Amino acid sequence: MQLSRHLKERSCPLCGPPDRGQVRYRANFDEARLDDFAFASRKLPEFMHLTLVECPSCNLLYASPSLRAEFLAGAYQDAAYDSTEEANFAARTYAAELPRVIAGMKAAPGAAVEIGSGNGAFLPYLCEAGFTQVVGVEPSLAAVERARPEIRPLIRLGMFDPGDFEKGSQALVACFQTIEHVEDPKALCEAARELLKPGGALYLVGHDRDSLVNRLLGTRSPVFDIEHQQLFNQTSMRHLLQKSGFTRVEIRSIRNRYPLAYWVRLLPAPAGLKKAMIALLRALGLGGVTLGLNVGNQAAVGYRPE
């Protein structure tokens, strides 16, 4: 996978050319180690990343040079997928925040779209919450093929294109663990705002690079990943939503619940050791035991002005 041919210089995607950002982390990726899972969700961490620059204005940590949008579209389309169980657990976590998001909406639940829906695990929760026209958009064919038969018709295969939806037609736009992966996060949020009804909500979940666990692990944290074109903290996440035209922005930390075997996959330890630990947990019948932890994820919501 020849990443070097698909890189381009950029300024802060939130603040633009005058940001004068400083390099915080030099690129450390090895193209020979990148395989079909390099752009897959919830993969075994490789602990590789692009050159990361910190913006002094909004505190965003962003890749420069970054990967071009055309390359990212192809990489996500062809990515392997093996995380159905973990996706189901993640969807439950995100669904737990839905009542709070809906309570702040001034638009009645109607149409809702999830950008980067994976196998569609979150879509049934939208239906249960009263949304009547639910659509997921997902570029990975392998992920869509793992959707449950009754959910598969709700998913549109391909990259998110706001032109596929009528402006002002959506009550909710959701986007989970995807905002770090896109070339232009501000453009995506601005497009979401245009799709929303007045009083509708944009609901994001992303990594918080300044969380305690991520500060302790440093570049051995899984958030330092070749897929990530930018990394947010609460300051830059708020900046993103406010600069994209959203009001009543709320951000808070969330706890994720996953099986022990998945938590072991994320450890900053040699792959062979982690595989042995997972095998031992499963042999003892403990691999499927779940544990809720705050591992540095943040839920953010903003509302389109009425």
Which SS3 state, helix, strand or coil, does residue 8 take?
strand
What pLDDT was estimated at residue 297?
96
What residues does each domain of the chain span? 3-257+296-303
CA distances from 286 to 152, 211, 274, 277, 293 (A): 32, 28, 15, 11, 17
Alpha helices in 13-145 (DSSP H): 69-78, 84-96, 98-103, 123-128, 141-145
Q: Over range 35-56, report the average pLDDT.
A: 87
**pLDDT band at 41, cuts 50/70/90?**
confident
Domain 3-257+296-303 part of CATH 3.40.50.150: yes
Q: Are 36 and 212 in contact (CB under 8 A)?
A: no
Q: Are 235 and 59 in contact (CB under 8 A)?
A: yes
C-alpha atoms less than 13 angstroms from C-alpha of 259 in its C-beta half-sphere: 18
Lowest mean pLDDT among 103-112, 170-179, 230-239: 103-112
> 207: which strand partners?
297
Instruction: State CA 298 to chain mean position distance.
Output: 11
More confident residue, 203 or 74: 203
The model's pTM is 0.93
Instruction: State CA 120 to chain mean position distance.
Output: 14
pLDDT, one tens digit per residue, over 177-221 is 999 999 999 999 999 999 999 999 999 999 999 999 999 999 999
Q: To the nearest 10°, the Cα dihedral for 71, 77, 83, 86? A: 80
What pLDDT was estimated at residue 271?
82
Which SS3 state, helix, strand or coil, does residue 295 take?
strand
